[in-house]
């Protein structure tokens, strides 16, 4: 898994991460969504 650390930090699966990358999301949008999902309880830690 080439994005193992990013998946671990964000909680995304490899497939979810690939989908986000292919959707041309900006770094800001990507990390805003990650932070938002952590605070909204969508992140399983």
Confidence of residue 45 (pLDDT cuts 50, 70, 90): very low
* Cβ density class 7-28: b for 16+ within 10 Å, e for less: beebebeeeebeebeeeeeeee
Per-residue confidence (pLDDT) for residue 23, from 0 to 100: 92
DSSP 3-state assignment of 24? coil
Closest CA to 31 of 6, 4, 2, 1: 6
- Using alpha carbons only, give the angle 31, 23, 44 rounded to the nearest 5 degrees: 45
Over residues 14-42, the pLDDT tens digits come to: 999 899 889 988 989 988 888 887 766 55
Confidence of residue 12 (pLDDT cuts 50, 70, 90): confident
Answer yes or no: pTM beyond 0.85. no
């Amino acid at each position: 898994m080439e994005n193992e650390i990013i998946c671990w930090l964000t909680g995304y699966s490899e497939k979810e991460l690939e989908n986000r990358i292919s959707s041309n999301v900006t770094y800001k949008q990507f990390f805003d969504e990650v932070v938002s999902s952590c605070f909204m309880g969508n992140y399983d830690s």
